[in-house]
Amino acid sequence: MKIRKGDEVIVTTGKDSGKKGRVMRVFPNEGKLLIEKINYRTCYLRKSQENPKGGITKMEGKLHISNVKLICPRSGKPSRVGYSILADGTKHRIVKASGEVL
């Protein structure tokens, strides 16, 4: 996957379109991401010793990777991500718009 944990992304489609956030967790087998403060879901808590009354809480839900774009660290604009092999043989991620190495 071209987007990794800690990257700054922007949501391109859906109810949270236009919001920015940092990737907390990546699920490569599902092709999904968990982004902080984005895509809140209602979660119903069962009664337990830690939570004797139960209740309702909000938690972040997963988003498909096709619905987000990486934000370029230099320009701050959404951009695609690619790979480039440097002269010394190492493989790096690059921002397609500016060509900057991540």
CATH of residue 63: 2.30.30.30
pLDDT at position 74 is: 87
Residue of 55, 53, 20, 56 whose CA lies nearest to 38: 20
Domain enclosing residue 68, as ranges? 8-95
In a domain, 2, yes or no: no
Number of domains present in the structure of the chain: 1
pLDDT at position 101 is: 86
Residue of 48, 96, 42, 51 whose CA lies nearest to 72: 96
Query: Where do we find the tokens 């087998």?
Result: 29
In a domain, 65, yes or no: yes
pLDDT at position 78 is: 93
Residue 102 reports pLDDT greater than 90? no
pLDDT tens digits, one per residue of 44-95: 999 999 889 989 999 999 999 999 999 998 888 999 999 999 889 899 999 9
**Which strand (E) or helix (H) includes residue 62?**
strand 62-64
Tokens of 1: 């996957």
In a domain, 3, yes or no: no
